[in-house]
Amino acid sequence: MGKISSLKLHYIIVLFGTGVILIAFFVAICFSKKEKPFYFNYIFLFIILGLLLSANTIKSNSTAWLFNKKISIYIEQLLLLLQSLVLGLFFLEILKISKFVKKVKLLLFLSVLLQSILIINVRLTNTEIRPAIIPNLFFLALCFLYIRDLMTNKPTLVLVKSSAFWIVMGIFYSSSIGFPVNSLISFFPRDQHIFNLRLQIFSIANMAVIVLYLFIIKSYLCLKHPQNF
């Protein structure tokens, strides 16, 4: 009974998250003709990749999935890698005139490289390490660099009206939750008796990602105040 309840809860969170991403997509479409910073192109791609991730998850949990289960895992890891790259480019764009730009480039390169290596290693060795821990950790560092740059160069910025600030805070929140949650997975054995616990832990990470998309929606609403990109 506990396993069935956990499955239902996990699936409900996925469906709810998909709904939030769809709202973010429609909000992005509504603001498509609005003048906005270039980094919103990366955010729009992030939203599209999020929809594809949700569709892949829903499909893999459906009895209609006719292919090998591993295929959905490969697709998921590829989409997560692309999302990491897109968010890395977002940070590179908002910090392109910062003194930290070289550090951002290095962190982006290392993040994509290490995540790719870990994905390949996990697939070959069938280990329980979550490749997502790599971008989670690096994004925390990038958020720190953004705050450092913000405190030294933009003291007059109205943060509650800043699109970039809301996106970065969403990434920070998602990564600060996702890193410890994804790190814990490797310590849980593949045992059916704790399967529901694993699902509940994954649900925590998924809820943190939902908050990120809510912050992205807020960032689009900030476009009503173009002086505070």
Q: What is the pLDDT of residues 48-66, one digit of tens each?
A: 999 999 998 887 766 544 4
- The mean per-residue pLDDT over the stretch 202-226 comes to 90
Q: Is the dihedral of CA 170, 174, 177, 179 positive or negative?
A: negative
Query: Which residue segment(s) compose the domain that 115 sits in?
Result: 2-228
Lowest mean pLDDT among 28-32, 104-108, 142-146, 152-156: 152-156
Which pLDDT belongs to residue 59?
78
Which pLDDT belongs to residue 191?
61
Distance CA 222, CA 218 (A): 6
CB 2 within 8 Å of CB 196: yes
CATH number of the domain encompassing residue 29:
1.20.1070.10
CB 171 within 8 Å of CB 212: yes
Does 189 have pLDDT greater than 70? no
Taking the alpha carbons at both ends of the chain, their separation in whole angstroms is: 49
Domain count, the chain: 1
77-127 residue pLDDT tens:
899 999 999 999 999 999 988 888 999 999 999 999 998 888 888 777 766
Looking at every residue in the chain, the average pLDDT score rounds to: 84
Distance CA 198, CA 188 (A): 8
Tally the residues of the chain: 229
- The mean per-residue pLDDT over the stretch 138-155 comes to 88
Does 216 have pLDDT greater than 50? yes
139 CB-side CA count, 13 A: 29
Q: Is the dihedral of CA 59, 188, 192, 202 positive or negative?
A: negative
Does 227 have pLDDT greater than 80? no
Scored b (16 or more CB within 10 A) or e, 129-156 reads: bbbbbbbbbbbebbbebbeebbeeeeee
154 CB-side CA count, 13 A: 18
Torsion angles phi and psi, residue 131, rounded to 5: -60, -20
Distance CA 41, CA 114 (A): 25
Amino acid at 126: N
Of the two residues 154 and 3, the one the predictor is more confident about is 154
Determine how many CB atoms are found less than 10 A away from the CB of residue 102.
9
